[in-house]
Amino acid sequence: MAFWDQLKTKTSEMSDQLKTKTKQFTNKDFANASMAMCALIAAADGKIDQTERGKTAALIMNNEILSVFSPSDLREKFDFYCDRLDRDYDFGKVEAISAVAKLKSKQDQARAVIQIGIIIGGSDGDFDSDERQAVKEACFAVGIAPAEFDL
């Protein structure tokens, strides 16, 4: 099976798993970490162009997993992290990773955020090395081995 087929299968499985767990993750830290992860994926190559930002925002708004949250709240949080990354990438990255790290003691939620990053990163059919690196760094922040997600 080609890498792309494996990625599609894996993200589909992750998405199904998350749908069953999402209701228990309706809290501020999970919402913040999810949007921070999405912003990290959007900025994985060191910059966020408006097209990429718009595509990622559309994916967030149409994501069934995140539908338990207010779309306007998600958009506000996503824009917040994107703006931070745009203004000063290194500092913004530290801030976004810190938001993800708040879930370190909540491993189910941390795994869900990692899975969201993988789903968003692979949604365009190309989970590139920069996006994979962003997800790996998030894994390290929450104490999860990247190998658990084949990274």
70-107 pLDDT, tens digit each: 888 999 999 999 999 999 999 999 999 999 999 999 99
Q: Is 15 exposed, middle or buried (0-12, 13-18, 19+ CB in 10 A)?
A: middle
Looking at residue 127, what DSSP letter applies?
-
Rounded to whole angstroms, the Cα distance separating 15 from 2 reads 20
Comparison of pLDDT for 32 and 53, the residue scoring more: 32
pTM of the model: 0.82
> Does the pLDDT at position 136 exceed 60?
yes
Rounded to whole angstroms, the Cα distance separating 128 from 110 reads 22
Q: Is 112 exposed, middle or buried (0-12, 13-18, 19+ CB in 10 A)?
A: buried
Mean pLDDT across the chain, nearest whole number?
Answer: 84
- Name residues whose C-beta falls within 8 Å of residue 42's C-beta, 6 or more positions apart in sequence: 48, 52, 53, 56, 82, 85
41-50 pLDDT, tens digit each: 999 988 887 8
Domains and CATH numbers, the chain: 27-149 (1.10.3680)
Predicted pLDDT of residue 1 = 47
Rounded to whole angstroms, the Cα distance separating 70 from 49 reads 25
Could you give the angle at the alpha carbon of 65 between the alpha carbons of 86 and 73, nearest 5°?
50
Q: What percent of the chain has pLDDT over 90?
A: 46
Mean pLDDT of 30-45: 93
